[in-house]
C-alpha cells in the first residue's frame, strides 16, 4: 500500500506496518496465521481490544496482528510505552478507528492530523475554557445535572426497580457537557429511550469500529447508509444548536461562545463555521462517552467491593459533612474517591489505546528500527496491567495503588487514560472533576447492591463500557453520622501533595 502524504510531505492516514518497520519479522504474532485473512482464528469481530489483551499476555510487550491485508504493531511494555511518549521523537498518529471518524468530525481536536492548522488554533482558543476559573463556573451546572440523576434514581428506589448504570451515566454526562459547554438541554432524564443524538453517536462509533473488521467497506453498504444518516443527524443537531446561540446573542462565555467569538490571541484567526460544528460534535461525543464509561466501571467495582465503598462514604461524610451542595474546592478533597476512579480507569481505560508515529527514523527501545511515519498502537489497557509496574496482582481492584507515595515511586508514563503529550485530552480535568463529584454524591446518598450472577462484560465501540450493568439501590439513612476523622499523617488525611497520576503535577 503506497504511503499517502500531505503537501508538507508528512505521512497521512494509514501506513502499513510492513512499510514502517524494517525488521517486522522479529516482532511476534499470534500462531496459526491464515493466508489472506490474517490472525482471525480465535478472534471476535466485536471484541478486538479484549482479543488484543489476550494476545499481549501470550506474546509479550510488543507484538503484531494482521487483519486481512493490514498489519498492526501493538506496544504495552512500560519501557517501550515510555519511549513512545517522548514528544521529541514521536507524535500522535491518527489511524485505525480514529481516522474512520473523520467523516463525522473532520479536523476536530481529537481526529485532526498533526499538520492540520485547525488543531492548534482550536486548542489555543479553547484551552482557557478548562482553566480553574472556568471549571469553578461549570460546577453548579454539574450539580444541577447530578440532582436530576438522583431524582431519577430516587424514583427507582421507591418503585423497587434496578437502575441501568451505563444508560443513566450516559444521560448524566451528555447533559453535563451539553449544559456546561453549549447551554443546551437534551432532556435525557425525561425520555424513556436514549436521545436520538446518543443513538446516532453510538451508531457512528460502532461503524468506525466495524470498518477495521472487514477486508473492504463494500461489505458494509447497508451499515454505511445508516452511518450517513447518523452523521446527518449529528450535523443537524449541532447546526440547530449553533443557530439558536447566534440568535440569542451569547451564552455567558461557555465553550460555544469561545468557538464563535474568540480570536487566536496571537494571529487573530477564528474558527470557521464548519470547524465549529466539528468541534461541538467532538466535545459532545468525547465529552460524555468516555466519562460515562469511567463512572460505570467505578460503580461496578464499588458494588463488588463494599469495604471500598464504605471507606469512600466515610471520606465523603467527613469532608463534606452536612453540606447540602459541596463547593468546587471540596471535590478535590475527596482523595480516596478519586483513587477509586483512577483505579477503575487503570483496569478499564475507556479510551483503551492511542497511536504514536515516529517523527524521524528511530529505534524503539533501542531494538526495533522504525522509519519516519511508522506507527504503533500503545495498548493502554495492557500497559495498566504490566506486572513489572503494578505487581503480580495487577488484575485486582485496589485504589491504594494511587496513594501519593505509590504514584511518586512508580515509573513515569505508566498510567495513560487520557493519552499523552501535546495531543492528550484537553478536557481531562473537566472529566475528573465531574466524575469525582458524581461518585461522591452517589456514595453519600445510596448503598449499591449488585446481582451476584452478573459477570463483567465489556462492550467495545472504540470506547469501552460495561454491558448490562444494573444495580439495586438503597437510600442511606438521612443524617448519617460522619465517620471519625482520619489521623493526621495518613494518606487519606493529607491535605496537600496530591499528584495527578497522568502528568505527575499538582492536581
Catalytic residue among 74, 418, 430, 448: 418
Taking alpha carbons only, the member of 59, 140, 15 closest to residue 6 is: 15
Helix (H) or strand (E) holding 429: helix 428-445
Helix (H) or strand (E) holding 458: strand 458-461
Residue 68 annotated among the catalytic residues of the structure: no
The CA-based dihedral angle spanning residues 122, 126, 127, 131, taken in that order and rounded to the nearest 10 degrees: 180
Cα 218 from Cα 10, distance rounded (Å)? 29
Taking alpha carbons only, the member of 412, 422, 371 closest to residue 500 is: 412
Catalytic residue among 290, 414, 436, 463: 290
Buried b (16+ CB within 10 A) or exposed e, 434-458: bbbbbbbbbbbbbbbebeeeeeeeb
Give 92's DSSP letter. E
Give 495's DSSP letter. -
For cell 461562545, the residue is: 257
Task: Say how many C-beta atoms besides its own lie within 10 A of residue 406's C-beta.
Answer: 15
Residue 436 annotated among the catalytic residues of the structure: no
Catalytic residue among 362, 402, 425, 430: 425
Residue 297 annotated among the catalytic residues of the structure: no
Torsion sign, CA atoms 341, 346, 347, 349: positive
Report the first-to-last Cα separation within the chain, whole angstroms: 45
Half-sphere exposure of 450 (CA within 13 A, CB side): 19
Cα 189 from Cα 147, distance rounded (Å)? 11
* Residues identified as active-site: 290, 418, 425
Amino acid at each position: 500500500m503506497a504511503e499517502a502524504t500531505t503537501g508538507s510531505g508528512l505521512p497521512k492516514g494509514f501506513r502499513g506496518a510492513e512499510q514502517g518497520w524494517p525488521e517486522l519479522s522479529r516482532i511476534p504474532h499470534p500462531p496459526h496465521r491464515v493466508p489472506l485473512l490474517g490472525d482471525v482464528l480465535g478472534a471476535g469481530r466485536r471484541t478486538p481490544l479484549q482479543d488484543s489483551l489476550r494476545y499481549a499476555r501470550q506474546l509479550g510487550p510488543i507484538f503484531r496482528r494482521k487483519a486481512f491485508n493490514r498489519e498492526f504493531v501493538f506496544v504495552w511494555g512500560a519501557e517501550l510505552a515510555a519511549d513512545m511518549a517522548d514528544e521529541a521523537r514521536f507524535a500522535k498518529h491518527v489511524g485505525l478507528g480514529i481516522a474512520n471518524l473523520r467523516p463525522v468530525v473532520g479536523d476536530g481536536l481529537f481526529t485532526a492530523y498533526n499538520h492540520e492548522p485547525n488543531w492548534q488554533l482550536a486548542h489555543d482558543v479553547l484551552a482557557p475554557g478548562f482553566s480553574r476559573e472556568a471549571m469553578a463556573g461549570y460546577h453548579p451546572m454539574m450539580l444541577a445535572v447530578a440532582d436530576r440523576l438522583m431524582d431519577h434514581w430516587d424514583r427507582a428506589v421507591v418503585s423497587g426497580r434496578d437502575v441501568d448504570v451505563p444508560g443513566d451515566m450516559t444521560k448524566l454526562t451528555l447533559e453535563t457537557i451539553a449544559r456546561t459547554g453549549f447551554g443546551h438541554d437534551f432532556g435525557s432524564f425525561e425520555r424513556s429511550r436514549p436521545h436520538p443524538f446518543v443513538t446516532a453517536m453510538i451508531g457512528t462509533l460502532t461503524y468506525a469500529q466495524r470498518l477495521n473488521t472487514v477486508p473492504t467497506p463494500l461489505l458494509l453498504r447497508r451499515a454505511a447508509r445508516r452511518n450517513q444518516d447518523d452523521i446527518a443527524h449529528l450535523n443537524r443537531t449541532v447546526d440547530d444548536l449553533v443557530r439558536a446561540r447566534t440568535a440569542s446573542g451569547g451564552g455567558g462565555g461557555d465553550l460555544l461562545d469561545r468557538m464563535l467569538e474568540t480570536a487566536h490571541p496571537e494571529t487573530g484567526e477564528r474558527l470557521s463555521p464548519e470547524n465549529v460544528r466539528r468541534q461541538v460534535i467532538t466535545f459532545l461525543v468525547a465529552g460524555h462517552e468516555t466519562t460515562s464509561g469511567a463512572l460505570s466501571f467505578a460503580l461496578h467495582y464499588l458494588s463488588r467491593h463494599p469495604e471500598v465503598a464504605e471507606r469512600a462514604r466515610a471520606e465523603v461524610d467527613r469532608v463534606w459533612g452536612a453540606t447540602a451542595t459541596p463547593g468546587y474546592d471540596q471535590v478535590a478533597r475527596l482523595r480516596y474517591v478519586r483513587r477509586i476512579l483512577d483505579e477503575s480507569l487503570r483496569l478499564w481505560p475507556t479510551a483503551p489505546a492511542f497511536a504514536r508515529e515516529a517523527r524521524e527514523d528511530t529505534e524503539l527501545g533501542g531494538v526495533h528500527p522504525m522509519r519516519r511515519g511508522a506507527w504503533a498502537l500503545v495498548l493502554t489497557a495492557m500497559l495498566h496491567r504490566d506486572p513489572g509496574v503494578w505487581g503480580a496482582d495487577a488484575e485486582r481492584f485496589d485504589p491504594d495503588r494511587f496513594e501519593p507515595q505509590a504514584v511518586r515511586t512508580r515509573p513515569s508514563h505508566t498510567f495513560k487514560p487520557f493519552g499523552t503529550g501535546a495531543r492528550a485530552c484537553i478536557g481531562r480535568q473537566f472529566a475528573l472533576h465531574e466524575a469525582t463529584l458524581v461518585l461522591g454524591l452517589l456514595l453519600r446518598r445510596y448503598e449499591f447492591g449488585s446481582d451476584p450472577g452478573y459477570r463483567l462484560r465489556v462492550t467495545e465501540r472504540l470506547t469501552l463500557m460495561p454491558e448490562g450493568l444494573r444495580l439495586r439501590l438503597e437510600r442511606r439513612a438521612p443524617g448519617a453520622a460522619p465517620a471519625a476523622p482520619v489521623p493526621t499523617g495518613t494518606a487519606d488525611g493529607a491535605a496537600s501533595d496530591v499528584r495527578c497520576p497522568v502528568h505527575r503535577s499538582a492536581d
